[in-house]
Structure formats: C-alpha cells, structure tokens
Amino acid sequence: MCEANAYLLGDRGETLIMESVDEVSPEGDGLKLVNIFGEQKFIRAVIHSLSLVDHKVFLKELDRRP
C-alpha cells in the first residue's frame, strides 16, 4: 500500500493530522482527506508539498484572517 501520513505545516513545525491517507481532494475552502480505512477529515488548508518515498504529504493551513 502506498498511503502516506499528512502533516500540517505551521509556525511550530509539522503536526501529524492523519495517518494512512489515500485521497486528498479540494472541498469548499479546504481539503477532504480520506484514509485507507475510509475515515474522513476536513481541513482548511492546501497541499504544500509531497515526499512520497518517505510517505509524507505536507499541508499548509490557510490564513484565518478575512
């Protein structure tokens, strides 16, 4: 299986937000993450970068200010 772990990049480094992620797709003003177990998570972020051989997906939170 070639799933990855999703990390949120922030001021305080990387925060693991979901393991074993399969699908990441835009939804509304953010992203929907679905893992290989079918669990879903929504996060107000964009996909920043990928390191697939390391099984890492980096997301960047959108600015909360209007």
What are the residues binding a second copy (CB under 8 A)? 1-4, 21-26, 36, 46-53, 55, 57
As given in the structure block, the two tokens for residue 26 are 């835009």
C-beta closer to a second copy: residue 1 or 11: 1
How many CB atoms are located within 10 Å of the residue 15 CB?
A: 12
For residue 56, the minimal CB distance to a second copy (Å) is 10
For residue 3, the minimal CB distance to a second copy (Å) is 5
For residue 64, the minimal CB distance to a second copy (Å) is 20
How many CB atoms are located within 10 Å of the residue 47 CB?
A: 14
**59 close to 31: Cβ distance less than 8 angstroms:** yes
